[in-house]
């Protein structure tokens, strides 16, 4: 949730939709709990262990398709305020009276937490088998994600909790849409500051007024619009002090010019002649522009006093514990050098056993789905260490087949050849490849709705060959000579096509101007134009002769004309006039 009052809708106009390469070769902190809750809700009754399938596919997707180095962050022990707010939210959604929460709180909380913890532990085990770094926060996961982002350890954080900005995040990715030209919905704190004129402390003040994850209610009677209007009246350095004053019942002066009432009140003299009532040049209403401004000023002052009175009615406002929670910097245990962020190689055999047990997937299917991640790791390692020769210990680079474009993004279709000394052994994988293709198409444990979160790897197994889709820059860094040769050949093909198309276009223009030979096949419009003209001319001559000859001859000519090869409608018109 984060900040209440439809806070994300307020920030929607400052969102940036970034392209495929926005996070390539960058580190990103991910709130794992957000992933689990999101997909458990969407696919609760549609798939076996959706949290595992979702985490597996999206991790492979981020790592191979977008070139991201993900860092997963777990929730720690929640604060008492967060636990209480979570329980209140649970009872609200369940339709249970909160007055009975003290009786049912222990049982409901224990059952829900045990199920959720099991999902988290399963995902952590899966991520460790994939070689991903996993960190645990002291409290909120989004708080540690924000600290990693603020301190420069990661370039962005992926979470749907808007209070990540309150914890100090500078770049938040709210959602991913892989099947799009601009898959990342990104929010930068610099854009929010420039657009709304609000800094981090201002946003914390807004959350105290409208509600947040630690206080769902906020201040009664104050929504997002009132909160924004209030906090804009103070600078970032003084906002908390002013809230303390208002909470104690002290109403600060209205921010603006406050004129004396005597300046706006005209002198009332009965003996003076009654002057004509003037109209405001600003809005056209009766009265001078100065009087109108004074009325508006009085209206704003009354609004200001009413809002301050609403705040002063709240007990313990603002909450020091919530402010300290957002402003503190102790969200995770780091060494002096910072967090330990290391990405290892996947433990393929253990991972196959794990997913086969929990998801009931075939081992061949699992290895195929892992291949995009393994090929990405292989190309990265080969760029650093050219001595590495074989992909997954079996396949060697053969060639670049073609350029593929998906959602406006280019990929190289790379062909890998199986390194086999004995050619007779190639006959065995052919039968296995057919079996693998059948399993690939038949296995569909993840539903179609998962495609917006997962990746469908473009893998084609054909005997001793496999085809994978790879990033062009990554292929260039691993195989520079082959990639440059492919680009040169592609440019030559383009030039040849242009040379061939140019004479054709010139020849077609000449043919249209001059008469075309009979051997050339005409277009349908030209064909009907050439065949229709003589028939129409002959028909006209017959009609002229018919009109000049009287009596019986005309009827004979009608029958003669009707016997010619004319359409039925024309013959009827000639016979019956």
Structure token digits, residue 489: 């050949």
Judge whether residue 442 has pLDDT over 80. Answer: no
In this prediction, residue 512 carries a pLDDT of 53
Query: What is residue 93's three-state secondary structure?
Result: helix
Judge whether residue 200 has pLDDT over 80. Answer: yes
In this prediction, residue 479 carries a pLDDT of 92
Q: Average pLDDT, stretch 533-542?
A: 54
In this prediction, residue 241 carries a pLDDT of 92
In this prediction, residue 389 carries a pLDDT of 76
Work out the percent of the chain whose per-residue pLDDT is above 70: 69
Q: List pLDDT tens digits, range 527-536.
A: 555 555 555 5
Query: pLDDT tier at 15 (50, 70, 90 boundaries)?
Result: very high
In this prediction, residue 272 carries a pLDDT of 42
Q: List pLDDT tens digits, range 305-352.
A: 999 999 999 888 989 999 999 998 888 777 667 778 889 999 999 999
Q: Average pLDDT, stretch 159-173?
A: 93
In this prediction, residue 506 carries a pLDDT of 58
Q: Average pLDDT, stretch 369-378?
A: 92
In this prediction, residue 301 carries a pLDDT of 86
Cβ 279 vs Cβ 292: under 8 Å? no
Comparing 499 with 190, the larger pLDDT belongs to 190
The candidate with the shortest Cα–Cα distance to 346, out of 382, 379, 378, is: 378
Judge whether residue 400 has pLDDT over 50. Answer: yes
Q: Which of 1-5, 91-95, 276-280, 457-461 has the lowest mean pLDDT?
A: 457-461
**Measured distance CA(500)–CA(51) in Å, rounded:** 55
DSSP state of 17: E
Judge whether residue 504 has pLDDT over 70. Answer: no
Q: How many helices (H) and strands (E) does the chain have?
A: 21, 11
Comparing 461 with 473, the larger pLDDT belongs to 473
Q: Average pLDDT, stretch 260-286?
A: 47
Rounded to the nearest integer, the mean pLDDT of the chain is: 77
Q: Average pLDDT, stretch 71-87?
A: 85
Q: Average pLDDT, stretch 491-507?
A: 76
In this prediction, residue 107 carries a pLDDT of 40
The CATH classification number of 7-257+294-327 equals: 3.40.50.1010
Cβ 247 vs Cβ 313: under 8 Å? no
What is the secondary structure of 182-218 as a DSSP string? Answer: S-EEEEEHHHHHHHH---HHHHHHHHHHH--SS-SS-
Maximum mean pLDDT: which of 36-40, 205-209, 423-427? 205-209
- Specify whether the backbone of 218 is left (phi greater than 0), alpha (psi in -120 to 50) or beta: left
Comparing 21 with 258, the larger pLDDT belongs to 21
Question: Hey, where are the domains in the chain?
Answer: 7-257+294-327, 363-420+456-498
Query: pLDDT tier at 103 (50, 70, 90 boundaries)?
Result: very low
């Amino acid at each position: 949730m984060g900040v209440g009052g439809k806070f994300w809708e307020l920030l929607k106009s400052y969102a940036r939709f970034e392209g495929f390469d926005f996070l390539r070769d960058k580190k990103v902190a991910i709130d794992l709990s957000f992933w689990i809750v999101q997909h458990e809700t969407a696919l609760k009754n549609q798939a076996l262990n959706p949290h595992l399938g979702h985490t597996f596919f999206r991790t492979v997707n981020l790592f191979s398709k977008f070139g991201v180095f993900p860092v997963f962050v777990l929730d720690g022990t929640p604060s008492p305020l967060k636990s209480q707010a979570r329980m209140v939210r649970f009872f609200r959604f369940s339709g249970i009276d909160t007055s009975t929460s003290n009786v049912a709180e222990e049982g409901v909380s224990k059952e829900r937490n045990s199920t959720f913890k099991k999902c988290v532990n399963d995902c952590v085990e899966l991520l460790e088998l994939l070689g991903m770094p996993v960190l645990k926060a002291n409290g909120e996961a989004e708080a540690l994600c924000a600290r990693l982002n603020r301190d420069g350890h990661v370039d962005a954080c992926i979470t749907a909790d808007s209070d990540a900005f309150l914890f100090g995040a500078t770049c938040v990715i709210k959602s991913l849409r892989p099947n799009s030209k601009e898959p990342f919905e990104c929010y930068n704190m610099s854009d929010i500051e420039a657009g709304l004129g609000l800094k981090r402390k201002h946003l914390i003040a807004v959350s105290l007024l409208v509600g947040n994850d630690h206080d769902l209610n906020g201040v009664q009677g104050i929504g997002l619009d009132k909160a924004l209007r209030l906090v804009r009246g103070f600078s970032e350095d003084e906002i908390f002090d002013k809230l303390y004053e208002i909470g104690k019942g002290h109403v600060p002066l209205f921010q603006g010019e406050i004129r004396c009432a005597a300046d706006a009140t005209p002198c009332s003299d009965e003996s003076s002649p009654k002057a004509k009532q003037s109209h405001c040049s600003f809005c056209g209403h009766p009265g001078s522009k100065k009087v109108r401004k004074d009325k508006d000023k009085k209206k704003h002052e009354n609004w200001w006093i009413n809002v301050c009175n609403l705040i002063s009615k709240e007990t313990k406002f603002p909450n020091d514990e919530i402010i300290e929670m957002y402003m503190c910097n102790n969200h995770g245990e780091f060494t002096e050098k910072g967090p330990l962020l290391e990405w290892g190689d996947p433990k393929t055999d253990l991972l196959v056993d794990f997913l086969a047990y929990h998801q009931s997937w075939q081992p061949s299917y699992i290895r195929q789905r892992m291949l995009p991640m393994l090929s990405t790791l292989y190309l990265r390692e080969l760029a650093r260490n050219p001595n590495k020769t074989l992909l997954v210990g079996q396949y060697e680079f053969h060639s670049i087949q073609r350029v593929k474009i998906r959602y406006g993004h280019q990929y190289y279709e790379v062909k890998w050849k199986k390194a086999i000394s004995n050619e007779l052994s190639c006959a065995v994988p052919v039968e296995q490849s057919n079996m693998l293709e059948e399993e690939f198409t038949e296995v569909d444990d993840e539903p179609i709705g998962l495609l917006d979160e997962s990746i469908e790897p473009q893998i084609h197994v054909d005997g001793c060959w496999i085809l994978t889709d790879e990033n062009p820059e990554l292929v260039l860094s691993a195989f520079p000579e082959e990639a440059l040769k492919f680009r040169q050949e592609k440019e030559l093909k383009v030039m040849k096509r242009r040379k061939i198309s140019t004479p054709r276009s010139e020849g077609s223009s000449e043919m249209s101007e001059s008469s075309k030979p009979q051997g050339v096949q005409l277009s349908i419009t030209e064909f009907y134009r050439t065949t229709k003209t003589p028939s129409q001319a002959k028909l006209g001559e017959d009609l002229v002769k018919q009109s000049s000859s009287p009596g019986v001859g005309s009827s004979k000519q009608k029958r003669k004309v009707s016997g010619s090869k004319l359409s039925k409608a024309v013959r009827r018109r000639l016979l019956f006039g």
